Amino acid sequence: MIDDKLTPLIKDTIDVDDNARGFHAHYTALANNLPQIAKAFHSENYHLEMITCQDRREADTVFRLVYQFNALGKPQRHLIHVDIAPDATAPSITSTSPAADWYEREIYDMYGVSFDGHPDLKRILMEEDYVGHPLLKDYVDPPSPYREDSKEGEDG
């Protein structure tokens, strides 16, 4: 059973109400355990449904990575919170879940969080030479070159 395999790997269990939340189990875990957690889920025929991130630097001085695993058939969604320090990296789970490849790239692109062991960590939605990480809470849009141009009277 997945719960037995997870018990030594997780830090804490958070009680959830299925009907109001849409997922069925909620844990927190340490970043070091991520590869084993992914292996445990995959050995029980779960798949990685998504990875995402929350910028909680202001309140808790952490980035919170959110991993969601689900099984085919009757849904069994497991949500795992992994808090990492803003300058830390997280281990990549690409070798177990190939789906993590693009999700980790997206988090790197949008938040600047790096993943150790990712085969090709580069931007995915923004262009390669883009500067900045747009989904950070303190992100400020760079001044538009087009507006500067029009101030100088070039390009109309």
Partner 1 sequence: MSTHPALIAKTARRVRMDNRFDVVQDPQSRDTYYMNMGPQHPSTHGVMRIKLHLDGERIISAEPIIGYGHRAHEKMAENRDYLQFLPNPSRVDYLGGMIYNVGYCQAVEQMLGIEVPERAEYIRIICNEMNRISSHLLWLGTFLMDLGAFTPFLYAFDDREKILDILDRITGSRLTYCYARFGGLSHDIDDTFLTQVSGFCTYFTDRLKIYEDLVIGNVIFRERSIGIGTFEQDLIQQYAITGPCLRAMGHANDVRKDEPYGIYDRFDFEVPTQTDGDCFARTLVRMDEMRQSIRILEQAVGDKPDGDFVASKVPKRIRPPEGDHYFCVESPRGSFGMYIVSDGTDIPFRMKLRTPSFSILSAMPAVMAGTMLADTVAILGSIDIVVPEIDR
Which residues are near partner 1 by CB under 8 A? 19-23, 26, 42, 45-50, 52, 54-55, 66, 68, 70, 72-75, 77, 79, 97-99, 101-102, 110, 123-127, 129, 134-135, 137, 145, 148-149, 152, 154
Closest approach of Cβ 89 to partner 1, in Å? Answer: 21
What is the distance between the alpha carbons of residues 116 and 95, in angstroms, rounded to a whole number? 11
Closest to 48 (Cα-Cα) out of 99, 9, 83: 99
Closest approach of Cβ 83 to partner 1, in Å? Answer: 14
Nearer to partner 1, 30 or 125 (CB): 125
Nearer to partner 1, 33 or 97 (CB): 97
Instruction: Report the residue count for the chain.
Output: 156
Q: Where are the beta strands (DSSP E) in the chain?
A: 10-14, 25-29, 46-56, 62-71, 78-84, 90-91, 115-116
| CA 29-41-96 angle, 5° bins | 95
Is the CB of residue 9 less than 8 Å from the CB of residue 32?
A: no
Nearer to partner 1, 31 or 124 (CB): 124
Closest approach of Cβ 80 to partner 1, in Å? Answer: 11
What is the distance between the alpha carbons of residues 41 and 71, in angstroms, rounded to a whole number? 9
Closest approach of Cβ 20 to partner 1, in Å? Answer: 7
What is the distance between the alpha carbons of residues 27 and 148, in angstroms, rounded to a whole number? 49
Nearer to partner 1, 9 or 110 (CB): 110
Closest approach of Cβ 99 to partner 1, in Å? Answer: 5
Nearer to partner 1, 8 or 20 (CB): 20
